Amino acid sequence: MMLLNLIPGLLLAFGLYRMAQAILCFPSGKGAEAVRSIHGKRDISERLQAALSPLALLIAKLFPMSEYRQKRLAADFARLHMSETPQEYVGAAMTKSLLLALIGLLFVRLGVPWLALLTAAAAVLAYFQWMQTIRKRVEAQNREIEAELPRLVETMNYTLQDNRDMLTFFEKYRKVAGKALGVELDRLITDMQIGNHEAALRNMDARLGLPSFSTLCAVLCGVYQGVDQHTSLVVLEQDMRTREREALRRLMEKRPGRIKIASFILTMLMIIMFMVPLILLIIGNLQAAGF
């Protein structure tokens, strides 16, 4: 009964506070946070990250990574414009997982050891999820770039018939390029302006690691050597468009499975929604009959 009287009181108090906030122009929580951020104040997550930084560096030294993995993560971080080093990121992921596992030990003292095991398993899964997040973001960029490469090759095929200045072509195409490809073209244009064009193309090929762009890079290097690559660009464009159609077809094939799962869950919920009142009605009738 006290709870029923307390809820309307809380709602009335909240409504009066919102009215006073609107009438007296009190700053909102987001506005106050924006004002604090102007003076360089860090939020809770940034403070926690700074507090865990020494422990993360220590764990990174205790568990050194291989040179190949370090170079791969460094390349991924460079593409994502992340200021962290691979050692710092991996050390921070290990530290957070370790702290989560240690928190699970509290359940042992409370007499619930199975929750401690679940927390330890969640800590391991969280570590792998943090490590896969970087790769997933890079794969999303690669997918976006691969989807735009056929248009790039088609435009290049028409342009190179009149002018073989690749730097001018990339500068013009950058104005209409997508976000992911545009970032890579910015680096390519800068490398071309300060160095060798073929070396700039090969550096971009090494950053992306895409088979389709590797083929395009080989074709463009042939253009710089004076080879007529018109036929090669036409064939490459057709091949890219075929692969893009196959990728879209595989993506569409995955969606019906998700729809079936959602439909099954929705059907079960509807059955439960109709069965619960019926069961309660039957129980009520049985109790009224004396059973």
Spatial neighbors of 78 by CB under 8 A, at least 6 apart, are: 207
Alpha-carbon span 74 to 65, nearest angstrom:
12
Alpha-carbon span 272 to 266, nearest angstrom:
10
- For residues 53 and 210, the model is more confident at 210
pLDDT tens digits for range 272-286: 777 777 777 777 777
**pLDDT tier at 144, thresholds 50, 70, 90:** confident
**pLDDT tier at 43, thresholds 50, 70, 90:** low
pLDDT at 255 over 70: no
CA 211-215-221 angle, 5° bins = 140
pLDDT at 241: 86
pLDDT at 216 over 80: yes
**pLDDT tier at 20, thresholds 50, 70, 90:** low
The gap from C-alpha 20 to its chain's centroid, in whole angstroms, comes to 41
Per the CB < 8 A criterion, the answer to whether 208 and 184 are in contact is: yes
**pLDDT tier at 31, thresholds 50, 70, 90:** low
Model's pTM, two decimal places? 0.60
Alpha-carbon span 68 to 154, nearest angstrom:
36
pLDDT at 140: 86
pLDDT at 3: 47
pLDDT at 259: 59
pLDDT at 38 over 50: no
Tokens 């002018």 sit at which residue? Answer: 163
Alpha-carbon span 188 to 285, nearest angstrom:
78
User: What average pLDDT does this structure show over 241-268?
Assistant: 73
Alpha-carbon span 72 to 276, nearest angstrom:
55
User: What average pLDDT does this structure show over 114-120?
Assistant: 78
Distances in Å between the Cα of 165 and the Cα atoms of 113, 170, 198, 199, 236 are 69, 9, 13, 16, 20
Distances in Å between the Cα of 178 and the Cα atoms of 53, 82, 173, 239, 267 are 36, 20, 10, 21, 41
What mean pLDDT is reported for the chain?
Answer: 76
User: What average pLDDT does this structure show over 110-119?
Assistant: 76
Alpha-carbon span 246 to 224, nearest angstrom:
32
User: What average pLDDT does this structure show over 191-216?
Assistant: 85
The gap from C-alpha 273 to its chain's centroid, in whole angstroms, comes to 36
**pLDDT tier at 1, thresholds 50, 70, 90:** very low
pLDDT at 136: 87
pLDDT tens digits for range 168-178: 888 888 888 88
What's the DSSP call for residue 27? P
- Tokens in use for 211? 């088979």
Per the CB < 8 A criterion, the answer to whether 153 and 233 are in contact is: yes
User: What average pLDDT does this structure show over 214-241?
Assistant: 82
- For residues 87 and 252, the model is more confident at 87
